Chain A
Amino acid sequence: MPAATPKPTESVTSATVRFAGDSGDGMQLAGTQFTHTSAIFGNDVSTLPDFPAEIRAPAGTLAGVSGFQINFSSRDIHTPGDRVDALIAMNPAALKSNLADLVEGGILIINVDEFTEANLKRAKWDHNPLEGDTLHAYRVYEVPITRHTMEAVKPTGLGAKEASRCKNFYALGMVFWLYDRPLDTTLGWIDKKFSRREEIAEANTLALRAGYSFGDTAEMFSVQYAVTRATLPAGTYRNVTGNQALAMGLVAAARLSDRPLFYGSYPITPASDILHELSSYKHFDVRTFQAEDEIAAVCSAIGAGFGGALAATGSSGPGIALKQEAIGLGVMTELPLLIIDVQRAGPSTGMPTKPEQTDLWQVLLGRNGECPLPVVAAQSPGDCFRTAIEAARVAMQYMTPVVILSDGFLANSSEPWKIPDVDGLEKIEIRHAVENNNPDGNFLPYLRNERGSRPWALPGTPGLEHRIGGLSKDDRTGNVSYDPLNHEKMIHLRAGKVANVADSVGPQPVFGEPHGKLLVISWGGTYGPVRTAVADAVDAGKSVGHLHLRWLNPLPSDLTEVLDSFERVLICEMNSGQLQLLIRGRYCLDAAGLHKVQGRPFTVAEVAERMDAMLEGQA
């Protein structure tokens, strides 16, 4: 084809693209590649992978649709984007389940080859959307992606099945052209990934280039979009998902506290990747243990913690429910333990691949007896790294189990992460008991220090032999005790110790206005949409502040003053009001709530709309 005249370029601040296709179409891969390229190009990036729990639902069905959304911007962004500017629909099912999210006038690239009678029927279309006016509100580009891909890879001699598998790279190439992205990052990845299968590498390369050239030369696309580099803080960056960051954070915490990491876990979506990541870090003295069940996973970690390892277990809601009795043992014996809960939509099996924040009550209140423990929630994929280290520090310094809350969205979505300076990370100083602390007799395993914490005396230490267990125990000696007053005293001592954690956590700063009409509170993964909505509101001169709570227990010691500084309070969470109830109860405050329990994150618009309604006195 002759080189066409260069097409005009339109500059935009940010764009949101979604690749959608069958779960066998390689959409997660296309999305990941687009993310890497955009991040390395210099945009700020936020992603939302969305895939079915079924490994391979029947091809072409609605249940089998897999999507990957990327928001990339020349500005600082915190969310994967509310609506989609460009949708790539690889089949009728993908079109059907994603069309509602495409903005009016948005770009819609359709693989027409898959719009057969049978596929339309599988996707439950009662008509062919390519005919009639179903799509009249969008800029539709009908491209024979499958056929073009087959032609492009013909020189490699691949069979039809393998050849057609390259169509995700063709689609990716087209979108690379559309947003003026360089190809080199993906080309480099293809070479490395398929170094042992040259014909596959060549085919994918040909498909990628063909897609790009099609955008460039075909008369179809009239304009290219440019999203310039973001001005991010200086430093070295990489893309990271929440699960990756959490795994690295655990390894870092083990290093900083100079001990092996023990991770006991049972496979469960969406937490399994933490186990996978950690099992490849054995050279860091990481001891992963795939237990026979969730209970064994947490119990093995308790045993390892007793032995002096940095001990962690990870799961999702259903698994946490199974672990609760053992977590109570950790609280009762006062051993350091990290419990990672990558929350997913429940109750019961729920929607395993979809995020919610519905485990807050479970981790705070879901055990027998009075059983408090510190709870911290990560706010973004990269933040999982810092959160793991912070939680480990608290667990070992206060001798207590600590829950780390993540969710399915944070776990799998990625963002550019400014890599911290390893040498600048503060050591976690732990002093194990080595000498008898009792001049009058046997070692006292429950003698407390100024934090309210007890000594961590490891088996193997001569002279400190002692017994611990789940029975009520005497203050100081730890011997079994049924004394009523002692029992109550120990409950208060343990609770007081957990409350003391607030001292080392410190106050939580308010973003935006320090006082005024409306305080918006978020926790965990709702940080992104809330921060974006509040930042926009502050820019527009509205009297709004944002308080993001990292620690859900204990709550910041200055929270009363912060709450009192605003006329109204709005708590945004992906549940029906779990934090809201706690804040209302503890602070006797009529806090409003914005709730969403759909297995997907808030959009910025949802938060903004509610804020505006409250500011205008309409809600």
Chain B
Amino acid sequence: MTAVAPTAKDFKSDQEIRWCPGCGDYAILKQMQKVMADLKAERHNTVFVSGIGCSSRFPYYMNTYGFHTIHGRGPAVATGLKVARPELDVWLITGDGDGLSIGAGHLVHTMRRNVDINILLFNNRIYGLTKGQYSPTSEVGKKTKSTPMGSLDTPINPLQVALASEAAFVGRCIDVDGKHQQEMLKRAAAFRGTAFLEIYQDCNVYNHMAWEYATDRKIKAENIVVIEHGQPLIFGAERNKGIHLDGLKPRIVELGNGVGVDDLLVHDETDATLAYLLTQLRYPDFPEPVGVFHAVERPCYEKAVAEQIAAAREKKGEGDLKALIHGGDTWIVE
């Protein structure tokens, strides 16, 4: 269609953006528009689907096809769309409330089916749109409007949910780390199957600085570790620390004094057990991994649906309506 290569601007819709100034969502929108342009995505073949919440306004701001659905149900709408139209590129935008509370069931089943869509879960550990109640990822003891004495429930770990749901692609990135986020979005876009990406996102009104340890330039190098397939886990401002595996127990070690790179844990995206172990590295005990935790290709749901249809046609021929309604015992009345 377009003779000239698209730019990020081509992916901006004419709608005024209604997120609070300073919201982490702006950064993610910007990276997505850039990535779309870089990938030379076709606007008309791209669909953004979302549920309800601040993050779910995302589709309105993309100049593609979009569907802002109802709370938690985005994955089901996206699944139906992809089964009906496998050739479309379908992205699902959700949040920690939308995806892990009211819509947790749909998220789980979409990932186990391995529908070829990309799921971006904006995790700000708070309900923003409803003005500040605790979310399924809020830490225990979180004081909010609905929990003045502190929240009681143990938070859920989005990546562990994804792995338990047999997600084929599981990753994590951070709203303000644009370059890494772009890489992750591109990996997700290229992946055939459900790609689940958790994005640490700052709600600067109701939960500002929730991810300060992972975003503050002064300290973040000590608190996150970028994981890459085949590479040892090294982190720290001086890149002098690493993760060593002691049996099944991860330990932080300093390089030098007889400890070398060979002693460090080497990441393997294909190893689900390792992926699960990495999800357990949590601040402040450990640096939190960002990157692709797990990526293994397996058959996509919508493709399998199409294959069954093709197989049925191979066996029975193209459906004949007349034969269908004349099926079973018939008789003629004269």
**Residues of chain A at the chain B interface (Cβ within 8 Å):** 36, 39-40, 42, 185, 232-239, 248, 251-252, 255, 260, 262, 264, 281-287, 289, 291-293, 295-297, 299-309, 311, 325-326, 328-329, 333, 385, 418-420, 422, 442, 458-471, 479-480
Contact = CB atoms under 8 A, between A and B. Distances in A.
A237 B333 CA distance: 7
25 contacts: A40-B331, A235-B333, A236-B326, A238-B325, A239-B328, A283-B312, A283-B316, A287-B83, A289-B80, A293-B105, A295-B76, A296-B105, A299-B69, A299-B70, A300-B80, A302-B77, A302-B80, A303-B77, A419-B325, A419-B326, A458-B85, A459-B45, A459-B65, A470-B52, A479-B15
A480 B324 CA distance: 45
A357 B63 CA distance: 46
Given A467-B68, A468-B68, A237 B45 contact: no
A462 B2 CA distance: 10
A465 B63 contact: yes
A357 to B, nearest CB: 27
Contacts of B322: 422
Contact of B324 (A260, A281, A463): A281
Nearest to B48: A467
Given A40-B329, A306-B81, A462 B44 contact: yes
B332 interface: yes
B321 interface: yes
Contact of B47 (A264, A459, A463): A459
Contacts of A36: 329
B321 A251 contact: yes
B309 interface: yes
B83 A469 contact: no
Contacts, number: 211
B105 A292 contact: yes
Contacts of A291: 76, 109
Contact of A460 (B88, B325, B327): B88
A586 B77 CA distance: 37
Contact of A248 (B83, B325, B332): B325
Contacts of B63: 465
Given A301-B80, A467-B60, A283 B85 contact: no
A31 B332 CA distance: 22
Contacts of B324: 248, 251, 281, 284
Contact of B81 (A304, A325, A462): A304
B73 to A, nearest CB: 4
A113 to B, nearest CB: 32
Contact of B70 (A236, A309, A470): A470
A304 B13 CA distance: 24
A340 B286 CA distance: 53
Given A296-B76, A300-B80, A303-B79, A251 B329 contact: no
Given A326-B70, A462-B1, A470-B69, A300 B309 contact: no
Nearest to B2: A462
A469 B76 contact: no
B132 to A, nearest CB: 21
A239 B324 CA distance: 13
B331 A303 contact: no
Contacts of A262: 80, 83-84
A238 B330 contact: yes
Pick from A252, A281, A282, A309 the residue with the most CB of B within 10 Å. Answer: A282
Contact of B329 (A239, A304, A311, A480): A239
Given A262-B84, A304-B83, A233 B333 contact: yes
A309 B45 CA distance: 16
B305 interface: yes
A618 B62 CA distance: 69
A237 B84 CA distance: 34
Contacts of A418: 333
Contacts of A462: 1, 42-44
B332 A235 contact: yes
B106 interface: yes
B309 A283 contact: yes
Nearest to B306: A287
Closest 9 pairs (CB-CB, A-B): A469-B68, A303-B80, A284-B319, A300-B80, A299-B76, A467-B66, A307-B84, A303-B81, A282-B312
A289 B323 CA distance: 24
Given A237-B332, A262-B84, A459-B81, A292 B106 contact: yes
Contacts of A458: 85
Nearest to B314: A283
Interface string B173-209: 0000000000000000000000000000000000000
Contacts of A295: 73, 76, 106
Contacts of A463: 44
Contacts of B325: 238, 248, 252, 385, 419-420, 422
B334 interface: yes
A287 B84 contact: yes
Contact of B309 (A234, A287, A465): A287
A283 B331 contact: no
Nearest to A185: B329
Interface string B22-62: 00000000000000000000111101010010000001101
Contact of A234 (B52, B315, B321, B333): B333
A442 B64 CA distance: 12
Nearest to B13: A467
B77 to A, nearest CB: 4
A303 B67 contact: yes
A306 B70 contact: no
Nearest to A458: B85
A295 B105 CA distance: 10
A296 B309 contact: no
Given A232-B333, A283-B317, A306-B77, 13 more contacts: A39-B331, A238-B328, A238-B329, A238-B331, A248-B324, A260-B84, A287-B83, A293-B105, A305-B80, A326-B73, A459-B88, A460-B85, A470-B68
A304 B84 CA distance: 5
A469 B321 contact: no
A601 to B, nearest CB: 25
Nearest to A279: B308
B87 interface: yes
Contacts of B85: 307-308, 458-460
A413 to B, nearest CB: 16
Contact of A461 (B44, B312, B321): B44
B79 A289 contact: yes
Contact of A469 (B67, B82, B305, B326): B67
A236 B331 contact: yes
B140 to A, nearest CB: 29
A537 B195 CA distance: 67
A264 B311 CA distance: 21
Contacts of A466: 65-66
Given A285-B309, A459-B81, A306 B333 contact: no
Given A234-B333, A284-B319, A325 B70 contact: yes
A467 B77 contact: no
Interface string B272-309: 00000000000000000000000000000000010011
A467 B65 contact: yes
Pick from A285, A305, A420, A442 the residue with the most CB of B within 10 Å. Answer: A285
A185 B76 CA distance: 46
Contacts of B68: 467-471
B313 interface: yes
A286 B308 CA distance: 10
A464 B44 contact: yes
Pick from B15, B105, B330 the residue with the most CB of A within 10 Å. Answer: B330
B246 interface: no
Contacts of A461: 44
B44 to A, nearest CB: 4
Nearest to B86: A307
B233 interface: no
B69 to A, nearest CB: 6
Contacts of A309: 84
Contacts of A40: 329, 331
